[in-house]
Amino acid sequence: MGQEFSYFCYRCGRENRLNLPMPNAPDYHHTNLACKNCGDGTHILVSHCPKCSRYVYWINDMSIPSLVESFARYMVHNMQALIDKAAMQGSSISIDTPHVYPIQATCPCGEKITVNLPIPDMD
């Protein structure tokens, strides 16, 4: 199911309209946007409020899912270094990592929603 989404380009100010899938939170749709006038690009993460069906969205120059994945890679690398140092001293430790990264928002209707971005298993 798609819904018309419109936004104004930050660079040239032109309105852009496109049809985007709008899954209910905690699911989401992430896509790259490009202004039809000047070509300026950005990213959008969009979801529907399950209570009132309005869309809640985040527009950012960075890809939020990619940012979460990059941070997860950094943390796994650092945690592995801790595990390796403990092993060198004869100890054994394990660190549980979450499977999702929640992003919280408040819909204009007042409903608190959470969008769950998956954190890839990097073991």
Burial of 95 (0-12, 13-18, 19+ CB in 10 A): exposed
* Predicted structure pTM score: 0.68
- Domain assignment present for 43: yes
Cis ω for the linkage preceding 26 (within 30 of 0) = yes
- Domain assignment present for 62: yes
Tell me the per-residue pLDDT of 48-99, one tens digit each, with 9 for 90 and over: 899 987 888 887 776 777 777 787 777 777 777 888 888 888 887 776 777 8
Q: What is the extent of the structural domain holding 99?
A: 2-118
What Å distances lie between residue 32 and 18, 63, 82, 104, 111, CA to CA?
Answer: 12, 8, 36, 21, 27
Domains in the chain: how many in total?
1
- Domain assignment present for 123: no
